[in-house]
A and B are shown apart, each in its own frame.
Chain A
Amino acid sequence: MTSALDREPSKPRIELQFDRPHRQHEPRDQLAVRYRIEGCDGEHIRAIEHSVLWYTEGKGEEDLGVHFFQRITDRTMMPPTAITGAFSTPLPQSPLSYEGVIVKVRWCVRVRLFFDGSRDFVSEHVFDVGQIPPARMPVARA
């Protein structure tokens, strides 16, 4: 028999669906997502955070810009009462997704679950804003 204290923490899964195919959006588009939470195995969730943000990747320190943020603490809107959720936001005009050589800009939707105690779980879903082609390799100076 396993007590609650020495039970392995659950491994939640969040299935998230974008309203547009290929996760391709243009600036000022309305972004709408629906998600479903599974695998919490009775663990108590005390808050859920929705966010739409961009972050940088590459050689530099990671920078982050949050465009949309929502924290839900209403127990009727989280498991086990409700295992699905949805939110939407208009996208800004910039920055556009960019695949550079040492700097990359990515957009993503994050759904973060806060369990009792200090544990949290975040599910990240990348999408594109704009259609900037990847940067070429560095130019060789003459």
Chain B
Amino acid sequence: MRLPRFYAKKRGHRRTGSREWGVVGDGVFHATLLLAGLCFGGLLVSGVAAPEWRINHEFRETTGTILAKGLAKTTMADPPATVITHWRPCLLVRYSANGVVHESWSQGPTATTTSDREVALRRLAGWTLGDETVCWYDPEAPKTVVLQRGYNWWLWLLSLLLPGALVLIGGTGLVRALRAWGKSEEHRAASAGITELLDPLAQPTLAAPGYPAVPACDDLVNSPGTVLRYRLPIESPESWTLVGFGLFALLWNAVVVVLAVGAGLDLLGGRIDWWLFALLVPFVGVGIAGVTLFIRSLVFATAVGPTQLEISDHPLLPGGRYDVFLAQGGTGTFQTLTLSLELEEQATFRQGTDTRTEQLVVWNQPVAAFHDVGAAPHSRFETRAIVDLPADAMHSFTSAHNAVRWRLVVRGSPERWPEFCRTFPVVVFPRGFASPESASPPAVVRVRTASEEVSP
């Protein structure tokens, strides 16, 4: 029997890890997660859930008399130099179990434990010495008695959630590794069914029916235009920049407010924490800068005005001719306003532990260009143009890590403002496409990331 090689040859002269050892490593990792989940779950169930379940189901009911009451104190070290104290109300109860009279301090669910002594005392005040009360004792250890029953749902949730997640991730990963063992990459990719469920993140974008690896364009044709048939959705980098600046400003200044409130309370209490104040100064500076950037981006986005693009048909076909309607809002003059058709390639790859995406425009066709365009709040700039798609154009393509995308791009250089660029994605189908309704059923195609090597 031959052990799998640690290194296998890839295309060209590159060498990469062996798929077999990769599967072994993946399997061991997920088996460890599964084992950890089972052990952790077992400990939580036996230590927390089972005792509580026994109190509620196996302890026997009886009547007892409260003889004394007090607080049980538990102290735990909290490094570096403090301790945490917990208080639990306890009652000395006299009760009869199987004809034998016992006197025992009650034990209850840990939910009655609190770190606030006053709260524990208030809970204790609800019990009166000499009162008769219902209690439950353990038939296997009659000295154990409780005065309250019930479930602590947080503990149950914790005991199920964390080990459950470990078991789920470890189990699915292990099943995936076992299913992959000994199979070729073609076999794995062609296997239908559970594989998709086991690795949902590796699935590519939804493909058009009957056209494998061609993205569906349902989201691009659900908005009717005012002049032409479809209004194209915008994909504006400036919008994402604005959202990014806004989120940063919000989160950062929330931290600043928390720090400032702490410093203010200290001041009111007559204390001055110089370290906190020293930390607060640069934080406030960054917070102000974040808000300034956000407001600047917001003003820029609103000052330029919205761009609207409509098209006479969609999806596009190679060799097709399409009418396009462009409308640009805003105030002032645009020194240039251009519309172009672009083909962009996108590749996602791993570099060390990072996942990177590279985009490259490999084809660009100017559609229309305008100079010294004037726009006003109540009279936007409107024009129509013709887009010709080359007869030998590549169709839109998308897979898990690679894509070929078509888009219409509007670029403008307004006076007094920086240049802007707004993109409108379109989908190009291969020649022969009639309509989504008449497309034939899809061929059996499964997309997977290839990791196995190919012998030359």
Contacts and interface: CB of A to CB of B under 8 A. Distances in A.
Given A93-B211, A94-B395, A117-B2, A65 B189 contact: yes
Contacts of B440: 93
B20 interface: yes
Interface stretch (B26-34, B86-94, B339-347): B339-347
Nearest to A137: B362
A136 B190 contact: no
A66 interface: yes
Interface in B336-364: 343, 345-350, 358, 360-364
B76 interface: no
B360 A102 contact: yes
A66 B361 contact: no
B401 A56 contact: yes
Interface string A97-121: 0101111010000101000011111
Contacts of A1: none
Interface residues of B, number: 59
Interface string B357-376: 01011111000000000000
Nearest to B190: A69
A118 B2 contact: yes
A85 interface: no
B77 interface: no
Contacts of A53: 186, 189
Interface in A27-52: 27-28, 49, 51
B346 to A, nearest CB: 7
A49 B187 contact: yes
A60 to B, nearest CB: 3
A29 B363 CA distance: 29
Interface of A: 27-28, 49, 51, 53-69, 71, 92-96, 98, 100-103, 105, 110, 112, 117-124, 130-133, 135-139, 141
Given A103-B402, A110-B454, 8 more contacts: A61-B402, A63-B449, A63-B450, A65-B213, A67-B444, A101-B360, A103-B397, A117-B1
